[in-house]
A and B are shown apart, each in its own frame.
Chain A
Amino acid sequence: DAKTTQPPSMDCAEGRAANLPCNHSTISGNEYVYWYRQIHSQGPQYIIHGLKNNETNEMASLIITEDRKSSTLILPHATLRDTAVYYCIVRVSFSSGSARQLTFGSGTQLTVLP
């Protein structure tokens, strides 16, 4: 799985959009970008994933650059409950055979300020 680079911490004002960047310059053509988050004292929670097209769901939007070397997770209207560590993970998906584990980095600590 390709390595990812994220800033260690970010702040965001409540009600504003939170934009979390991730660099994955060595990503391969068959690797997806996944985002999970971990609120304090809880297990990680899946947010969204994508291959090359931008994706949106009820939680967030994922913007992947055309060369796929970086991506941005967007929380459109951050709330205090969005304070968490956000992990960007690159991995092969829908591959044949058995499922594989997730490889977490250090993530970005997002703090939403009132």
Chain B
Amino acid sequence: GAGVSQSPRYKVAKRGQDVALRCDPISGHVSLFWYQQALGQGPEFLTYFQNEAQLDKSGLPSDRFFAERPEGSVSTLKIQRTQQEDSAVYLCASSLDGVQETQYFGPGTRLLVL
């Protein structure tokens, strides 16, 4: 079956530009997570949705980062006025519900800010 998909796979942005990263979770999965992975490091949590509700955004590094999941399926991570330190791989993961803890990850979007 279809897994988690993310688009675009690669994004190059000039410093100061806004970017939008899309995540299509596995159909029927209630929980959706965004992670940021810097080069050579493990993924770090950004934010979490249960259906359309954003229950935890404690990992978002600044108010330039914004995530939404308006209909409880597709999610978008938006970064405004990108900075060079935003360069990273952005990973999306989904899980079936609040009890099933296995998270299924997408391939990630590699963002490079010049």
User: Which residues of A approach B to under 8 Å, CB–CB?
Assistant: 32, 34, 41-46, 49, 85, 87, 91, 93-94, 97-107
Contact = CB atoms under 8 A, between A and B. Distances in A.
B43 interface: yes
B91 interface: yes
A-B pairs, 5 with minimum CB distance: A43-B105, A104-B42, A101-B45, A99-B98, A99-B31
Given A43-B105, A94-B101, A101 B91 contact: no
A101 B99 contact: no
A46 B4 CA distance: 13
A43 B108 contact: yes
Contacts of A91: 101
Interface stretch (B14-22, B48-56, B67-75, B78-86): B48-56
Interface string B5-49: 000000000000000000000000001010100000111110010
A78 B93 CA distance: 27
Contacts of A32: 101
A105 B33 contact: no
A43 B107 contact: yes
Given A43-B4, A99-B97, A104 B44 contact: yes
B43 A99 contact: no
Given A99-B97, A104-B43, A106-B42, A44 B48 contact: no
Given A98-B50, A98-B55, A99-B95, A107 B42 contact: yes
A101 B105 contact: no
A101 B33 contact: yes
B101 A93 contact: yes
A6 to B, nearest CB: 10
Nearest to B41: A106
B45 A87 contact: no
Given A43-B106, A45-B105, A102-B45, 19 more contacts: A34-B101, A41-B107, A42-B107, A43-B93, A44-B91, A44-B103, A87-B42, A94-B99, A97-B98, A98-B98, A99-B31, A99-B97, A99-B99, A101-B59, A102-B93, A103-B45, A106-B41, A106-B42, A107-B42
